[in-house]
Amino acid sequence: MRIFLLVLLGIIVNGNIWAQETKGLNPLLQNVYGRNVQILNGYWNYLVDPLETGYYDYRRRPSPFGFFKDVEVDNINAYKEYDFDTAPVMPIPGDWNTQNYELFQYEGTVWFRRVFNFNKNSDKRSYLYFGAANYHTIVYLNGKKVGEHEGGYTPFNFEVTDFLVDGKNKLIVKVDNKRRADAVPTNNFDWFNYGGITRDVLLVEAPSTFIQTYKIQLKKGSSNTIQGEVKLNGDKPLQKIVVEIPELKIRREVTTDNNGLARFDQVVNSKILNLWTPQNPKLYTVNIISETDKIIDEIGFRTIETKGNKILLNGKPLFLKGVSVHEEAAYRNGRIFSADESRILLGWAKEMGCNFVRLAHYPHNEHMVREAEKMGLLVWSEIPVYWTIHWKNPDVYANALNQLSEMIERDQNRANVIIWSIANETPHGDDRDIFLSNLAKYTRAKDDTRLISMAMERSDKSPTVLSIKDNMSEFVDIISFNQYVGWYDGINEKLDRVRWEIDYNKPIIISEFGGEAVFGLRGDVSEIWTEEYQAELYAKTLKMIDERMPEISGISPWVLKDFRSSRRLLPNYQDGFNRKGVVSDKGDKKLSFFVLREWFKTR
């Protein structure tokens, strides 16, 4: 069942104390793909339930006899008004919007059922793991509720050892993607609200005491000391742990404490250590062995820090040649769920000359992050604290914090993840500052080996003197901001007249810029919506950066590919798509793609 432990961390800001939510009895499993799993992907039966008849009775009270019971009747002496056996099927993982045209704009509840066989082993523990489901998910196994989760883009799992039976098991999942004002993101956002079980579903096997989580990275401030942390979960917390990195000739033994936790520092021979870089994305096989469990991962080592207005990767200045990316498939325009589809988007970024991708505006699937790591692409990972949310609501904060925690826990060993982003385009105000500063403090405490940023909005000094002024600058390592001169702010000629005055001695990233263009619509550079106008916008923006922003540390223009958005309603131009992509929704490269590629060659 869904049990959370609320812990007061003692953070007091302007008289406010925030409760910080962490996982209680269902800690997030790390590196599930490195474990023994039963894959539950495939064709699931589904029932569309806009009135939530399967959950509530006629008095709008939760019913003990809902669809999750899936009772068997003969329809002669007893009946029920639903039937999973004769219901249609849908491939999982996948969004329901693009798999059933009648559900394209549907927002509400859909019930999914998967029947699977299981051989029960009394010596093992079992967890149901969901890569993600959008947005509010309740999970039932064999008629009993095992847990629920809120958030559409982060993984979650529940222990189901005591729910499983030998032989046939019925897994039923209620997924509700209705937008809410008190959700994260809120009910107003500029991407498509794909509903469903959108990432892998796995039944994960673990020993009675298993390796719950681990973090093995270079120690902050060091290029030759590996810092490790291993946490056990189970009834035998005191164990010997062996960490092996064979290629580096490392074999380190430590012993966990009464809480199942062990930490260590290990000096490495710097002559044989190859640090991870975009040019050489070196990964090492790492074995983590306890007395009862073993995990194998591929981990890279690198340092990331800032000095003045520079970003330093492995002690050397780094310019982030990037692009923003939405998690939408290259050609079919649905939610991505596979490594193959991730590689297509990342391949376009590499072809353009990128060494960096901003995965916006939510944590992307684990395949995307791991494929980017193998391909030498640095990553900015973000939670969907987007535009205006309910800053004063403690439940909203707990929700954002939980998504932040799940994002960090899943990817804390990925060398290519260098930036945790806590927000995008949020309005200034005391309540927002309290909310976001506490997220930043939590991030710093949980992971001090990466940088913190957020996409800010401009605070100009005059119409042509552009600037940034944000109270959150105190809490982030990188000043990142979105700017749309030439699209939302004037037309392209304004880019020739503006200058920048940014009064922070920190690295600066332009996290978004761009404009919309319909692929194949040609015209003069002065005609908006044409490829020529978008290409000219890019050319002038990049010239502005070269001539008037010499201290900038990177860019991630908006966006790699056209993507669906219900906010984009203009017929014949948008037709339900945000057209700011440098690649069309059908995979065609626009003129701006090549403008950006040529500029990256000079950096």
Give me the percent of the chain exceeding a pLDDT of 70: 96
- pLDDT at residue number 2: 32
- pLDDT at residue number 24: 36
pLDDT surpassing 60 at residue 23: no
Q: Are residues 179 and 317 in the same domain?
A: no
Domain termination site, one of 176, 192, 207 = 207
How many angstroms separate the CA atoms of 286 and 396, rounded? 37
pLDDT surpassing 90 at residue 18: no
Mean pLDDT value across residues 467-494: 97
pLDDT digits (tens, 9 = 90+) for 413-436: 999 999 999 999 999 999 999 999
Does residue 25 lie within any of the structural domains? no
Place of tokens 């000629």: 493
> How many C-beta atoms lie closer than 10 Å to residue 60's C-beta?
10
Q: Are residues 283 and 317 in the same domain?
A: no
Q: What is the CATH number of the domain that holds 125?
A: 2.60.120.260
Q: Are residues 452 and 314 in the same domain?
A: yes
Q: Are residues 411 and 540 in the same domain?
A: yes
Does residue 17 lie within any of the structural domains? no
Give, in order, the Cα–Cα distances in Å from 560 to each of 294, 323, 330, 355, 573. 39, 6, 10, 14, 18
**pLDDT tier at 26, thresholds 50, 70, 90:** confident
**pLDDT tier at 4, thresholds 50, 70, 90:** very low
Place of tokens 């920048």: 500
Strands (E) across 160-301 are located at: 167-176, 201-207, 210-218, 225-233, 240-245, 250-255, 261-267, 284-289, 294-299
The amino acid at residue 282 is K
pLDDT surpassing 60 at residue 296: yes
Domain termination site, one of 207, 223, 249 = 207
- pLDDT at residue number 75: 82
Q: Are residues 276 and 381 in the same domain?
A: no
Does residue 45 lie within any of the structural domains? yes
Q: What are phi and psi of 536, to 5 degrees?
A: -65, -40
Give me the percent of the chain exceeding a pLDDT of 90: 93
- pLDDT at residue number 20: 38
Q: What is the CATH number of the domain that holds 284?
A: 2.60.40.10
Q: How many domains would you assign to the chain?
A: 3
Q: Are residues 70 and 203 in the same domain?
A: yes
Mean pLDDT value across residues 581-600: 98
Does residue 383 lie within any of the structural domains? yes
Q: Are residues 111 and 190 in the same domain?
A: yes
Q: Are residues 202 and 235 in the same domain?
A: no
Of 6-15, 18-27, 219-228, 341-350, the least confident: 6-15
The amino acid at residue 568 is R
- pLDDT at residue number 269: 92
Does residue 581 lie within any of the structural domains? yes
- pLDDT at residue number 120: 87
**For residue 89, what is the enclosing H or E element?**
strand 89-92
Mean pLDDT value across residues 475-500: 97
Does residue 196 lie within any of the structural domains? yes
- pLDDT at residue number 300: 98
Q: Are residues 569 and 518 in the same domain?
A: yes
Instruction: Quote the domain boundaries for residue 313.
Output: 306-600
pLDDT digits (tens, 9 = 90+) for 221-277: 999 999 999 999 999 999 999 999 999 999 999 999 999 999 999 999 989 999 999
Q: Are residues 225 and 193 in the same domain?
A: no
Give, in order, the Cα–Cα distances in Å from 274 to each of 73, 340, 523, 538. 64, 28, 50, 36
| Residues composing the chain | 603
pLDDT digits (tens, 9 = 90+) for 355-413: 999 999 999 999 999 999 999 999 999 999 999 999 999 999 999 999 999 999 999 99
- pLDDT at residue number 17: 35
Which residue, among 502, 597, 480, 460, has the nearest Cα to 542 in the 3D structure?
Answer: 597
pLDDT surpassing 70 at residue 182: yes
How many angstroms separate the CA atoms of 105 and 102, rounded? 8
Q: Are residues 168 and 298 in the same domain?
A: no
Q: What is the CATH number of the domain that holds 364?
A: 3.20.20.80
Mean pLDDT value across residues 557-576: 97
- pLDDT at residue number 219: 95
- pLDDT at residue number 122: 80
Q: What are phi and psi of 203, to 5 degrees?
A: -100, 110
Task: Work out whether strand 310-313 and strand 240-245 pair parallel, antiparallel, or are unpaired.
Answer: unpaired
Domain termination site, one of 270, 302, 334 = 302
CA of residue 313 relative to chain centroid, distance = 22
Give, in order, the Cα–Cα distances in Å from 557 to each of 342, 371, 480, 588. 19, 21, 12, 18
pTM recorded for the entire structure = 0.95
The amino acid at residue 217 is Q
Q: Are residues 266 and 315 in the same domain?
A: no
How many angstroms separate the CA atoms of 254 and 68, rounded? 45
pLDDT digits (tens, 9 = 90+) for 320-338: 999 999 999 999 999 998 9
Kindly state the greatest CA–CA separation across the chain.
Answer: 82
Does residue 356 lie within any of the structural domains? yes
How many angstroms separate the CA atoms of 360 and 165, rounded? 41
* Contacts made by residues 542-546, CB under 8 angstroms, sequence distance 24+: 542/595, 542/596, 542/599, 543/495, 544/495, 544/496, 544/498, 545/510
